Amino acid sequence: MKKKESKRTRYAKYGVAFGSGILANRLLSNKIPRSNRWGVLGFLTLFILLLFGLVIGMDAESTPQIQVPGSSRQFESVNFSIVAQQFEDAGFSNITLTPIEDLKFGIITKDGEVEKVTVSGNEEYVIEKWYRQDVPINIYYHTFEPEK
């Protein structure tokens, strides 16, 4: 004669980790027909995954992500105020303007021309990547040396 398994043994055997909850007792008892048990377990698994995805999605919405308006090379020789305005229009909020005081006459390189743009300290940033709106943007531009 075969010995009847306890509910605890059935939990361990089928990998059900519900503890001694009401749902686990009903699933493993004969109150829910055997043909519907896997459907109920599948529904519960799907529900838990959707709930987990909702929590992750809410976290992503709390930190808005935006793309940069162009590469550092695209901004070379453009006036720094235009570049800064493009980053502001894109939604970036942490923009720093850094002057490079190296001009004497301003004939070849004009006053205010952008030398490079860095995103989070990186000049070779990826245009297609999504960045947080508070990522540090630094715009380096040429200007005249200060008078002595």
The CATH number given to whatever domain includes residue 91 is: 3.30.10.20
- Residue 27 token pair: 């699933």
* Per-residue confidence (pLDDT) for residue 18, from 0 to 100: 46
Same domain, 92 and 138: yes
In a domain, 39, yes or no: yes
The DSSP line for 8-23 is HHHHHHHT---TT-HH
Measure the N-to-C terminal CA separation of the chain; round to a whole number of Å. Answer: 105
Q: What is the pLDDT of residue 45?
A: 85
Give the separation between CA 115 and CA 55, rounded to whole angstroms: 42
Q: Are 76 and 41 in the same domain? A: no
User: Are residues 108 and 131 both part of a single domain?
Assistant: yes
**Same domain for 80 and 24:** no
pLDDT tens across the length of the chain (148 residues): 666 666 666 655 555 454 445 555 655 555 556 666 677 777 788 888 887 777 666 555 556 789 999 998 999 989 999 999 999 999 999 999 999 999 888 788 899 999 999 999 999 998 889 999 999 999 999 999 887 6
pLDDT at 131: 93
Nearest to 111 by CA among 80, 86, 75: 80
Q: What's the confidence (pLDDT) of residue 59? A: 55
- Main-chain phi, psi angles of 57, to 5 degrees: -65, -40
Phi, psi angles (nearest 5°) of residue 41: -65, -40
Q: Round to whole Å and give the CA distance between 31 and 37.
A: 10
- Give the pLDDT score at 112: 93
Q: Is residue 12 part of a domain?
A: no
Q: Residue 8: what pLDDT?
A: 60
Number of domains in the chain: 2
